[in-house]
Amino acid sequence: MACTTILVGKKASYDGSTMIARNDDGRFDTKKLVVVKNQGKHYESKIGHLKIELPDNPLPYTSTPNVTTEKAGIWAANGINSENVAMTATETITSNALVLGADPYVVYKKAEKKGEKDIPGGLGEEDLVVVTLPYIHSAREGVLRLGKLLEQYGTYEPNGIAFSDKDEIWWLETIGGHNWMARRVKDEEYVIMPNQLGIDYFDFEDAYGEQKEFICSKGLKELMERFHMNLNQGEKFNPRLAFGSHSDSDHVYNTPRAWFMARYFNPRTYKWEGDNPDFGPESDDIPWSLVPEHKITVEEVKYILSSYYQGTPYNPYLVKDNPVKGKYRSIGINRTDVMAILQIRPYLPFEIQAVEWICFGSNAFNTCIPLYSQVEKMPSYVSQSKETVDSNNFYWASRLIGALADPHFSSAVQLIERYQGASAAKGHQLLNKFDEKMRQSKDFSGKEAANEEIAQAIKEETEKALRNVLMNAMAHMKNGYNRADN
């Protein structure tokens, strides 16, 4: 799935929290935010037709599944479990012919003749959160469990997956059908991932030794050496060269997003534009991780995942045409179904450390609702999405705002900015209020009531924004006519 991910280490964030976030750029799938309790032991995927027996005693966890699961499956996308471990899956990445020739994807094959049996496929984005998140107690444990599943069952697609807890963030990338590698995000750094295999350095000595910063499948190094995948000149190993892609399409679809994100957080670290820049929109060697020039807030994560090359000639909303307008694929694209910023805040009591900032639809026009994750259920405003369009639901209200604002961008953008600013401030105000109340009282039984109040406040701001963009769109309808126009 065409997505964009950002990972923020605890020393790179404004408050010492870990943050992992991803745009789930789907096919306009209707999404909801729910709490999954008492998950069953028998799991069968829809795409891979793979049957798995799951462990006993799964942890409760939040999930943002598709509303309709009969055909394509659950697609949980992201969540936080009751141990305050977060997971987002997945960022579709890239591979190459050398890798797939050596370790092909595990693809479902339907029986062609009577008496033959179907051959199940491997795991995919549809499955990964469901079979991993309820059974892990740390980010590192998430890597180890998923890695074991990948080696056992394989995968039918290339994916990147993030795990976080209050101390660490890990990023895992699949390599071919059964192999994988994972790297810990340094506390002082952030990571940018735009639909490509991204890790730009890997230490096999650590991965096969102490595993402090790197972990991988048991046979990865042997596979690379046997099939001559190491394309590096010199001792430093760059996985992008060995396992990633080098296509022309990357330069319009993927790398420009990495360029814009790094340019935003590190404007003075490198030269990004003009003559002889260090990195341009089509550079293949933009760093996977960087130390930001200032600490990163929730709002900046939201902003960067909403971006469409503002302040550059590539902005698709520029009024004047130019040869490169809209040339590159935006980060905040129309097809985004859900985006969640999964924040684990170590300075608060365990019961209220984890917050899920949830938003639906195109990020350029939507806003987030911050919700405590350790609850029995989520507010109906985010959990009761249906396939029927209903503006009383956060998913559809967000979709309507985007669809109405986009065709009238120049007149609607200030309405959107006011909406996003007001709702973000309201979210922080209420979150701060409930954090302090529960911290002081040591009574955490009111988290669901707190979530309801937060959701209601953002609902009011959303309804106001929907009315404003609707009035603006009506004023610009093509069939408008005034006798004074004559």
CB within 8 A of 477, min separation 6: which ones?
none
Whether 381 and 394 have beta carbons less than 8 Å apart is answered as yes
Which residue in 3, 216, 359, 368 is the catalytic one?
3
Identify the H or E element spanning 173: strand 169-175
CA 395 to chain centre: 17
**Would you call 3 a catalytic residue per the annotation?**
yes
DSSP 302-355: HHHTT-S-TTSTT-TT-SS--TTTT-S--SS-TTEEEEEEEEE-TTS-GGG-EE
Q: Which long-range contacts (CB under 8 A, 24 or more apart) does 323-328 make?
A: 327/252, 328/252, 328/253, 328/256, 328/257, 328/281
- What is the β-pairing status of strands 51-53 and 78-80? unpaired
Query: Residues, the chain, total?
Result: 486
Range list of β-strands (E), 351-433 = 354-360, 369-372
Backbone angles phi, psi at 466, to 5 degrees: -60, -45
Identify the H or E element spanning 100: helix 97-102
Catalytic residue numbers, as ranges: 3
